[in-house]
Amino acid sequence: MHMSEQNNPQPEASLAAGDWTPDMIRAEVNALKHKPGALLPILHAIQDRVGYIPEGAVPIVAELMQQTRAEVHGVISFYHYFRTRPVGSHVLQVCRAEACQARGGRELERHIQTRLGVAYQGTTSDNEFTLEPVYCLGNCACGPSISVNNEVHGRMTPQKFDRLTDTLTTTVLELK
């Protein structure tokens, strides 16, 4: 396997993406709770498996970790990366930081929001894309950069973006 290839978790055979069961959450917690400072690895594992961290997972994690629900909720809400709602088929992150600003990042950001018809944290009505801001993808000599499902795309332009979304969508996007 090339290390550059994405190792996306396999979806459950009988469950649709975003579905979860309490047993699934328990399994993730039990696999990791022996580690010192295990809460972040556990939350990552749940999000990798389900796509987000469901509200109903919080009491399960809290009980098994012997922490309060408030503590677990507090950790989830502190970190931008953890999501508490289901996302679209593709998570699209746009770099808002300075090096990309210097290469037209602000114009690209406006184009993307107009094209998709959503603001940050929004999901398109066809459930294809969830749009998120990101502050630096570490691709600063070849900006502006975006990432699609954690895969970085450099030297992005509005034209390249339109082509990229066209190839990613299975249905035709409704344009305003």
Member of 102, 110, 125, 127 binding another protein (CB under 8 A): 102
DSSP string of 119-173, one letter each residue: -TT-B-TTS-EEEEEES--S-TTS-S-EEETTEEE-S--HHHHHHHHHHH-SSPP
Using the rule CB under 8 A, which residue among 19, 59, 91, 140 binds another protein? 140
Q: Is 167 a residue that touches another protein (CB under 8 A)?
A: no
What is the distance between the alpha carbons of residues 104 and 173, in angstroms, rounded to a whole number? 24
Indicate whether 55 belongs to the interface with another protein (CB under 8 A): no
Question: What DSSP state is assigned to residue 97?
Answer: S
Alpha-carbon radius of gyration of the chain: 18
122 in contact with another protein (CB under 8 A): no
Element (H, E) at 95: strand 90-95
147 in contact with another protein (CB under 8 A): yes
Rounded to whole angstroms, the Cα distance separating 93 from 121 reads: 10
158 touches another protein by CB under 8 A? no
* Cα(53)–Cα(84) distance, integer angstroms: 5
Interface segment toward another protein; rule CB under 8 A; list 22-30, 36-44, 109-117, 157-165: 36-44
Q: How far is the CB of 135 from another protein (least distance, A)?
A: 6
Q: Nearest distance from residue 126's CB to another protein, in Å?
A: 26
Tell the smallest beta-carbon distance from residue 14 to another protein (Å).
28
- Which residues lie near another protein (CB under 8 A)? 2-5, 7, 36-41, 43-44, 74-75, 78-82, 97-103, 134-143, 145, 147, 150-155
